[in-house]
Amino acid sequence: MGQSIKTMVFLAAPVLFFYLVFFVELDKNNPAITYTLAVALLMALWWVTEIIPLAVTSLLPFVLFPILGVMNGKAVASNYFNDVIFLFLGGFLFALAMQKWNLHKRIALKLLLMVGSSPARIMLGFMLATSFLSMWISNTATTMLMVPILMSIILKFEELNKNSNIRSFSTGLLLAIAYSASIGGISTLVGTPPNLSFARIFAIYFPDGPEVSFASWFFYAFPIVIVLLLITYGYLYLVFIKNQSVKWTHIDTGDIEIEYKTLGPWITEQRIIAVLFGLLAVLWFTRADVDVGFFELKGWSNIFENPKFLNDGTVAITIAIALFLIPSKNSSSKFIMDWKTAENIPWGIILLFGGGFALASGFKESGLSQWFGDQLIWLKEVHPFLIILSVSFLITFLTELTSNVATVETFLPVLAGLAMSIEINPLLFMLPATISASLAFMLPSATAPNAIIFGTKRLKVVDMSRTGLALNFIGIIIVTLVTYYLATFIFNISVNDFPSWAAK
C-alpha cells in the first residue's frame, strides 16, 4: 500500500466513524452495537495504515467506549493489564536475560555445529536453531540474531566460490530464517503475540470454557510446526539447492567452531539461565492437568488449595522475579537481571494487546459479535471443515497486509459470535484463525522477520512472493487438517455437539 493511499485511508477512517455513529442504526434497541462497529472500523483502518503507532490506535477504546456509552471506563481499563499480559511480561523478561548473557547465540551456533556444513545441512541447522529460539523469544529478536550469523556464512561461501553464483543459495537461507522464525513461534503461547491474544479473547468470551494452557496449546500447535517446517525445508532445498546446476565448495565446520569459541567458555550466568529455562518449560507444561484421551497427567497446581488461582502468567513472573534475585559474578550489575535491561520490554505491544482485548470486550458487551453471528447464520448449512478452510485462507492473506495481532484481535470476536449463532464449538474457528495469522510468507511488510531479511538487500520481492505463495497455501491446508482432526481430540471437541459453556 503506497503512502498516498495510506494517508487517504487514514483520513477517511474518522469520516466513516462519524457517519456510522450519527447516521446508521444497526439495531434500534441497542445503539451500542453501531457505536462499537464504528470504533472497530476506525481502529482497523488506522492499524492497517500504521500512520500513527499501533499502540496509540490501541488506546482508542479507553476514550471512545465510555464516551459512547458502550462500556464503563474502569471496565475498559482492566483489559489493558491482565494475566495474559503478565505471561507476556514474564516470558519477555526471560528472553531479555538470555540475550543479555548471549545464551541464545550459544544455542544457535551449537545447533549449527551439530548438523554439519554442507549447504543442505547448513539450511537445516539455521531452520532448527531459528525455530527453536522463536518458541521462547520474539521472532523479531530471533531473526535479528540469526541474520548476522548467516551473513558471515554467506560471505565465507562467496569467498570460497569466487567464480560461482551462490545468490540462489543465499536467498534460500535468508528465506529459511524468516519462515522458521514465523513457524517456530506458533508452538507456544509466548512464541508470538497472536497466540496470547487468542488465549485472552477466548477467556473473555467463554469464562466457563476449557482453559487453553501452555501444554494444551503446544500439543495442538507443535504438530503443525513440525509438518510445516519439514515441508518448508524440503521446498526450499529443492528450489534453492537441489535444482541449481552450480556446484559449491563447502564451508569448513571449523569456521563455525571458531565463531562459537569466540563466545568463550560457559559462564555461571549462562548455566543458571539455562537451568531456569528448563525449569520454566517444565513448570509451564505440567501446571495444568494434561488429558489427551489415552494419557492423563495431573498438574502440579493441584497441590495447592485453589489450583485454578495459578496460571501460566504466575509461573512466568515467578521465574522472572528469580532472575532479579540471583547474584551475578561477571557483571557490574549485582544480579543476573537488572531493570536497565528490563526497560527494553516492548510496551507498545502490551498496549496493542490491551487495545485488542478492550475491543473484544466491547464486541461482547455491546452485542456486536452476536449481531455479526446472526448475519452469518446461513453458514449453519455449510460443513465446519469448509468454514475452517475459509477462515484460514482469509486470515492468512489478510495478514500479508496488516499486523497479525491487529488481524487476530479484530476477527476473533466475530468468529466467536459466528460460532455461537451456528452452534459450533468456537475453538474450531478461533484456533485456526490464530495460527493462520503467523503464516504470512509472501511480502516483506507481512512480518518483522520478512522485513529484516529483505533489509539485507540480497533478495527481491519476487523471490519472497513466489516462494511464499506456495507456502501460504500449504499452511492453510495443514492448519485446516490439524484443526479438524487433531484439535478435536486435544480439546475434546465434538463437531456435532454445541458445548454448554459456549451457549448465549
- Tens digit of pLDDT for each residue in 81-123? 888 788 878 888 888 888 888 887 888 778 777 777 678 888 8
Q: Measured between alpha carbons, how far is 103 from 116 in angstroms, rounded to an integer?
A: 21
pLDDT band with cut points at 50, 70 and 90 for residue 354: confident
How long a stretch of residues is the chain?
Answer: 504
* Sequential DSSP letters for 198-230: HHHHHHHH-TTSPP--HHHHHHHHHHHHHHHHH
pLDDT of residue 22: 93
CA distance 413 to 117: 47
* Residue 246 in grid coordinates: 552450480
Is residue 146 predicted with pLDDT exceeding 90? no
**Is the predicted pLDDT of residue 374 greater than 60, yes or no?**
yes
- Calpha distance 272→201 (Å, rounded): 35
CA distances from 431 to 46, 82, 390, 437, 497 (A): 25, 21, 13, 10, 18
Sign of CA pseudo-dihedral 22, 24, 27, 33: negative
The greatest distance separating any two alpha carbons of the chain, rounded to the nearest whole angstrom, comes to 75
All structural domains of the chain with their residue ranges = 1-78
pTM of the model: 0.79
b/e 209-220 (16+ beta carbons within 10 angstroms → b): beebbbbbbbbb
pLDDT (tens digit per residue) in 18-29: 999 999 888 888
| Residue 502 DSSP code | G
Q: Which of 504, 500, 483, 499 is nearest to 420 (CA)?
A: 504
For 303, the 3-state DSSP assignment is: helix
Closest CA to 388 of 431, 450, 342: 431
286-297 pLDDT per residue, tens: 887 766 555 667
Q: At what angle do helices 268-286 and 103-115 cross, to 10 degrees?
A: 80
Q: What is the mean pLDDT of the chain?
A: 85
Share of the chain above pLDDT 90, in %: 28
> Taking residues 208-225, what's their average pLDDT?
89
- The one-letter code for the residue type at 269 is E
